[in-house]
Amino acid sequence: MKNKAFLLGIDGASWNIIKWMIDDGVLPNFKEICREGVTGTLSSTIPPMSLPAWNSIFTGTNPGKHGIPDSVARINGQNVPIINSKFRSTPTLWEYLSTNEMYCIIVNDPVSYPPLRIKGIHMTGFLTPSNSDQFIYPIELKDRIKHMKRYIPEVPENYYIMLRKNLDVALEIGLMISKTQEDIVFSLLHNFTWDIFNFTVTLTDRVLHFMWHRKKLIKKLYKHVDVFLGRVLNFCLSENADLIIVSDHGFETLKYFFYINNWLMDKGFASKELKRIIQRYRNYILKYLIQAPLFINLAKKFQIPQRLPKFSVDDIALSFGTGSIFLNNSLEEQTKKRILHRLMKELINVKHRNNSVFDGIFQREDILWGPYVNRAGDILVNFAKCYDIHTGIIGQKWFGSSKYIFEQVSRTGKHSKLGIFIGYGPNITRNRRVQYLIKTWDIAPTLLHMLGLFIPDYMDGRVLKEIFKEGSEPAIRSIKYKYRTEQERIRLRLKALSKRKII
């Protein structure tokens, strides 16, 4: 019998949430699959952020290969925000499966827009512009799928304002959006052919940033996810399909924002002269001075990227994204190395109330590899518990104060590096805990092996063969790799270069 797989993504899920709710008896379906299947801890990317992590999960490669190291990347010497999947330079799992004549259905994909032309159905999520109706491929299915008229691929633009004003109301709106997405999942499951089905729950990440301190609301959210999981389990059993559940990162308490660009100014790595700050942030200033609806609508329609603050002549280092520090490109190589060493040394010594603010400071080459390493910041950081990054310059009496760590009020949750992995199904072994950390890029090759396909040699991950039941077909079958010819390498390289021209 042909193997089938359901990949369920739960954005931001972590064991510190799931375990205490299982113990409280509110997650019966999670309890069953954790007891009867395989569980493990998934180690996210650095920084532990949705864009690099989900792309690693869906491509089987580290960010140095797929080209999306953070929410910001350095392209042709410019720092630009990641706004769509044209920045991605490695084929997704879905594209590879399609070339092997396997049917894929992808719903609420948080890292792809526009939708991929795959063998099957692709519905985009997080990166979809709020005013776009081009979120599905094939487009003609929009009128054939039940509940499609109610599908919302991205939360309303004012959703984060709602979260700050009234958490209870915002959660209800989010659950309504998720319910519509879930209804479409089952309409597709029942009415279309598939070899692999992927659905990603993104509400879990959206709201936990603001309601980490509200246990009742977290329980309500995860009870909803558990009910949906029960429906998925029943369908997988009827189809004899294996279920894999992953998160892109975990969640934990946030108490303080570290205003990293304030710190860089205070330490002499960035200019704090008023004229330099205005020069650096002039695009942000213009954004608030010129609020012409025509320009805003055109920018949305044509996906014009938001401009980030630029380096001024006196700036040595600035931070963009969620954990990336970039050095000024104009620096000479030897000067850059010297500054890099000094900057990392100073970062290691940053303390707040005798606590370390960082639990990891890395040169990009130490944790990334591949042709797109240079898109990442020169230094990548992971924050210690209770601390997170803020790249603005808010919080100073003027632009030169020694205070750069501020207590949080509205945001109470932040990403952590440790996510979840769960396997359950006819080919999955029972009652096993994987003791080592699973990498984000291990998921794609494991799914390919599960479906009986060769693993492309460009993938960085390993097949988690120990999760399979003894005597099952994936456990017996040897892992096989597909090695590219020189012509294929050239073709893929040209394709990647053409994408670079687009962005």
CATH of the domain at 46: 3.40.720.10
Question: Cβ(467)–Cβ(443) under 8 Å?
Answer: no
Q: Is residue 144 part of a domain?
A: yes
Helix, coil or strand: residue 422? strand
- The amino acid at 192: F
Any idea what DSSP says for residue 428?
B
How many distinct structural domains can be found in the chain? 2
pLDDT computed for residue 142 by the predictor: 87
Same domain, 212 and 346: no
Question: Within a 10 A sphere around the Cβ of 194, how many other Cβ atoms?
Answer: 20
Rounded Cα distance between 69 and 142, Å, is: 33
CA distance 196 to 6: 6
Q: Do 28 and 91 sit in the same domain of this protein? A: yes
Contact partners, residue 189, CB within 8 Å, separation at least 6: 105, 197, 235
Whole-number pLDDT of residue 402: 53
Token couple for 80? 């630009």
pLDDT at 285: 55
What whole-number distance in Å separates Cα of residue 388 and Cα of residue 358?
Answer: 9
Last residue of a domain, which of 414, 434, 449? 414
What's residue 293's pLDDT? 47
Closest C-alpha among 309, 310, 307 to residue 330: 310
Gap between the Cα atoms of 161 and 261, Å rounded = 25
pLDDT at residue 148, as a whole number: 83
Asked whether residue 331 falls in the same domain as residue 381, the answer is yes
In angstroms, rounded to a whole number, what is the distance separating the alpha carbons of residues 69 and 63?
A: 5
- Same domain flag for 265 and 223: no
Residues 77 and 209 in one domain: yes
Give the closest residue to 466 by CA, choosing from 418, 423, 416, 426. Answer: 423
Q: Token digits for 99?
A: 């070339």
In a domain, 490, yes or no: no
Cα separation, 499 vs 495, whole angstroms: 6
Instruction: Work out whether strand 72-75 and strand 78-81 pair parallel, antiparallel, or are unpaired.
Output: antiparallel
Q: Are residues 178 and 93 both part of a single domain? A: yes
Cα-Cα-Cα-Cα torsion 382, 66, 447, 195, nearest 10 degrees, comes to: 130
Whether residue 428 sits in one domain with residue 388: no
Helix (H) or strand (E) holding 275, with range, is helix 274-280
pTM: 0.92
Is residue 491 in some structural domain?
no
- Taking the chain (503 residues) in runs of 10, the rounded mean pLDDT of each run is 92 97 97 97 97 98 98 92 93 96 97 96 92 90 83 84 92 95 95 97 96 96 98 97 98 95 91 76 55 47 58 91 94 95 96 93 97 97 95 57 75 96 97 96 98 96 97 96 74 60 44
Q: Which domain holds residue 308?
A: 254-414
CB under 8 Å, gap of 24 or more: what pairs does 294-302 form? 297/131, 300/129, 300/130, 300/131, 301/129, 301/131
Note the pLDDT of residue 394.
Answer: 59
**Boundary (domain end) residue, out of 414, 447, 478:** 414
In a domain, 494, yes or no: no
Residues 29 and 177 in one domain: yes
> Do the Cβ atoms of 410 and 15 come closer than 8 Å?
no
Residue 358 covered by a domain: yes
302 lies in the same domain as 322: yes
Using the 8-state DSSP alphabet, how is residue 127 labeled?
Answer: T
In this structure, are 15 and 126 located in the same domain?
yes
Residue 24 placed within a domain: yes
Other Cβ atoms closer than 10 A to 248: 31
DSSP class per residue in 190-239? HHS--SEEEEEE-HHHHHHHHHTT-HHHHHHHHHHHHHHHHHHHHHHHHH
| Residue after which a domain boundary falls, among 372, 391, 414 | 414
My answer on whether 428 and 410 are in the same domain is no
Least Cα distance to 264 among 379, 433, 102 occurs for 379
Residue 496, domain member (yes or no): no
207 and 297 fall within a common domain: no
Instruction: Assess if residue 421 is contained within a domain.
Output: yes
Find tokens 């633009």 and name the residue.
Answer: 157
